[in-house]
Chain A
Amino acid sequence: MTRPGILKNWFVIRRDLPPARRLALTCASFLFPLALWSFVSYVPWIWHPDVKIELSAEREGVTTVFTAGDHVSRAFFPEFVDAVRKENAAVLDSRENGTSASGARRKNQKLLRQLAPLASSHDWLPFAEAQNDAALYGIWRDIATGTKVPSTPPLTPENLQIVRENWKLLSASSSEFSLKLLPDQPLLKLIPQGKPANPIYLPAPDEVITTGLRDFSAEVPTGELTMSDRYKKSLQVIFMGFFWACVVGIPIGILCGVFDFFSKLFEPFVDFFRYMPAPTFSTLLVAVLLAGDAPKIALVFIGTVFQMVLVISKTTRLLDPSLLEAAQTLGAKPRQMVTHVVIPGILPNLYNDLRILLGWAWTWLVIAELIGVKSGLTEFIETQGRFRNFDRVFPIIILIGVTGFVMDQVLSALHGVLFPWSGNNGAPSQGIPRWARSTLRAITSRTTSNSVTPS
């Protein structure tokens, strides 16, 4: 049996796949996790360990109250439903026996509010008016008479029956709401309804997208930060921290790589210092630099600069020593060797190092924003996480990821543009479409040829 061509040659040791297949796999590497996420979120009971309650009920003698939107475990939900059914059965029993209890007026008022979540999800009632009993009374009537048909979620036939039963009693006493005119004997409770749901910590993709869009476009009261303000704030902290780390780290790193004197003077201590986690200095930094951005920038700085010195000194040492010898035989003096050979020679690798170190700086950012006065995107994550609004947390996490990824891809594409001479030891920039790369190259080749031609 021969396999069709499309299945052949996917696994060849150390051989590049054709561009079309590479692109397909690149897409798949993003689509696969997304598909998995959608799969567990939308296919019922593949995983869904929870039930999200859409229609709740209070039980006699149980103090824990579930409201619509709450998650209960999948095992508990039928128990909950059965308990309410039993209570309804007891009510019906006593009604038939004519021993119906009285004094249930207050309870009945609460019972009417069972429909409030349903009403607000249909925009029949503003969310804030969940206790507007007069309006709810009308909704009971409309559903019972079929004027209004709930669709999100639809009522089960059982519940529809209950609504009608109750409305019979209600309409018998009054057509408009009046606490005094509510029936005195207990009404039937609506049976709880719910739908399969992910645990609260993994909202479904559509929830993440809608809340994300809502949060980013939301108007905020004056004095509070919009999401793009927070985003700018975060970027500002990371770039300031990284900038100062570069200002200090790059010269020291190069000096350490070139002169054994500086290497022995700085590197042992730097090597020791980098094992002290930057966050352990947070309280100290806040005490010294006070609230505001300074301690945050300092934390990103501390977290990055020591690694930077070591990485850059190593990169500097990797420069081909024969280039230095060649420069010596051409009469270059030590200072000229640093400025004319070492620095230009290591630039492409230095650039790549900085790209990787910028990625590290992002990890420090989250911690930096938590110290002192919380700020930026992390403050939002922290606050919403406390309220267990994980659907509002995920968009921020994804935003940070996308920012880092895009920045890295752009920088890696620029590598080829900035260092056309460095051949293939640059960064992999397969993520960039070919047309974009060739355009960039075209632009820069024009500018470099202009700048190189003298006089």
Chain B
Amino acid sequence: MNSTIALPDYRDQSPEVSARFARLHQRPVALEVSGLTKHFRTPRGTVTALDDVSFSVHKRELLSVIGPSGCGKSTLVRILAGLETPSAGLLRVYGEPVSGPGPDRGMVFQGYTLFPWLTVKENVMFGPCMSGTSSFAASSEAREWIELVGLSKFENSYPHQLSGGMKQRVAIARALANQPRVLFMDEPFGALDAQTRCQMQSYLLEIWKNVDITIVFITHDLDEAVFLSDRILVLDANPGRVREIVEVPVPRPRDPEQLFNPSFMAVRQHIDRLIHPPGQGHKEAPVLRLAVADPDVV
């Protein structure tokens, strides 16, 4: 089926959007990744998960990383957070080379990873307490973060008493309470149902608006990436390489109504074609012996 609606070029930016991007590029670089390569040794030989990945993220930017499954998105974010070591390449946060995990880079996992033996507030207090903040100070700070994610009523609940969306909000509050300079989010809303996911996306933008934080957001959901991001990094699979870094020409503040905005659809279509090139993956199903011919079902 051909798309009958004529869409603008995804590179077309309204003056206000292009002015915003110009200002964004002037900001200091929060995260600089250069030549990141990761090989895995398997019994069948060496597999290259990431090959010479380089990009930079500016202060208070929200960058999404998207790509087909198995393109090494998760490996990338795990290396960035310091949970895995790269085979080659360098990682700088505000110009300082970093290796290994540290409180300057926060992480929100898909699987929530809340500490089940701690209440919501104690979970949020965890990071500050580790760095030696007194528990009284950490507690009052934690209250503010919990209020920010709208869970004040649940500060003494245990994680198992919360829904998936609430757990992820706690996880975000916990990561932010540590005041990292960059926040990595690894498909944070992947385990949530569609409606909750939409809500959480709006929540995230609200929080981001109020907090001085640079976000690198890993996702496989195209709409989510376009809705949230300033720029989208598209990864190729096998090996994972940077295919293109797309600037999203949709103005801010974002609104779910913009899903039907022509420039939104244009950029969405462009990335979709990058990830799923036309003519690929569309195979005719073989005709089975028991096949039923029905003219209304084609």
- Which A residues are within 8 Å of any B CB, using their own CB? 320, 322-323, 325-333, 336, 340-341, 344-345, 347, 419-423, 449, 452-455
How far apart are the CA atoms of A328 and B109 in the complex, in Å? 13
Cβ of A336: which chain B residues have Cβ within 8 Å of it? 130
How far apart are the CA atoms of A420 and B105 in the complex, in Å? 32
How far apart are the CA atoms of A453 and B139 in the complex, in Å? 10
B102 touches A331 (CB 8 A): yes
How far apart are the CA atoms of A52 and B106 in the complex, in Å? 82
B178 touches A331 (CB 8 A): yes
Is B165 positioned at the interface, with any CB of A under 8 Å from its CB?
A: no
Question: Which parts of B112-138 form the interface with A (CB within 8 Å)?
Answer: 113, 115-119, 122, 126-127, 129-131, 135-136
Q: Which 9 A-B pairs have the closest CB atoms?
A: A331-B103, A330-B127, A326-B113, A328-B101, A329-B107, A421-B158, A332-B130, A344-B117, A322-B113
A322 touches B111 (CB 8 A): yes
Identify A328's interface contact among B82, B117, B156, CB under 8 A: B82
Extra contacts, 18 of them, besides A330-B174, A345-B115 (Cβ < 8 A), are A322-B111, A325-B83, A325-B101, A326-B113, A327-B130, A328-B83, A328-B101, A329-B105, A330-B106, A330-B175, A331-B103, A331-B127, A331-B131, A340-B130, A344-B115, A345-B116, A419-B117, A423-B116
Identify A322's interface contact among B109, B119, B135, CB under 8 A: B109
What number of residue pairs across chains A and B have CB atoms under 8 A from each other? 80
Highest count of chain A CB atoms <10 Å: which of B101, B105, B106: B101
How far apart are the CA atoms of A449 and B121 in the complex, in Å? 13
Show 13 residue pairs from A and B whose CB-CB distance is below 8 angstroms, ordered by the A residue: A325-B83, A325-B107, A326-B113, A327-B126, A329-B83, A330-B126, A330-B174, A331-B103, A331-B130, A341-B115, A421-B158, A421-B159, A422-B116
Whole-angstrom distance from the CB of B41 to the nearest CB of chain A? Answer: 19
Whole-angstrom distance from the CB of B100 to the nearest CB of chain A? Answer: 8
Cβ of A422: which chain B residues have Cβ within 8 Å of it? 116-117
Known: A330-B174, A331-B178, A336-B130. A449 touches B113 (CB 8 A): no
Known: A328-B82, A332-B130, A421-B117. A454 touches B136 (CB 8 A): yes
Chain B residue with the shortest CB-CB distance to A337: B130
Interface size class of B (residues with CB under 8 A): 20 to 34
B117 touches A330 (CB 8 A): no
A455 touches B106 (CB 8 A): no
A329 touches B126 (CB 8 A): no
How far apart are the CA atoms of A332 and B130 in the complex, in Å? 5
Is B81 positioned at the interface, with any CB of A under 8 Å from its CB?
A: yes
Q: Binary interface profile of B, 23-51, with partner A (CB < 8 Å = 1, else 0)?
A: 00000000000000000000000000000
Whole-angstrom distance from the CB of A315 to the nearest CB of chain B? Answer: 15
Cβ of A333: which chain B residues have Cβ within 8 Å of it? 130
Cβ of A453: which chain B residues have Cβ within 8 Å of it? 156
Is B254 positioned at the interface, with any CB of A under 8 Å from its CB?
A: no
Known: A330-B126, A330-B174, A421-B160. A455 touches B136 (CB 8 A): yes
A330 touches B103 (CB 8 A): yes
B174 touches A345 (CB 8 A): no
Cβ of A329: which chain B residues have Cβ within 8 Å of it? 81-83, 101, 103, 105-107, 175
Cβ of B130: which chain A residues have Cβ within 8 Å of it? 327, 330-333, 336, 340
Identify A323's interface contact among B113, B127, B139, B156, CB under 8 A: B113
Identify B139's interface contact among A320, A332, A347, A454, CB under 8 A: A454
B115 touches A323 (CB 8 A): yes
B178 touches A326 (CB 8 A): no
How far apart are the CA atoms of A326 and B136 in the complex, in Å? 23
Cβ of B160: which chain A residues have Cβ within 8 Å of it? 421, 423
Cβ of B122: which chain A residues have Cβ within 8 Å of it? 452
Cβ of A420: which chain B residues have Cβ within 8 Å of it? 158
Cβ of A347: which chain B residues have Cβ within 8 Å of it? 117
Cβ of A330: which chain B residues have Cβ within 8 Å of it? 103, 106, 126-127, 130, 174-175, 178
Cβ of B81: which chain A residues have Cβ within 8 Å of it? 329
How far apart are the CA atoms of A146 and B156 in the complex, in Å? 85
Chain A residue with the shortest CB-CB distance to B106: A329
Highest count of chain B CB atoms <10 Å: which of A336, A421, A449: A421
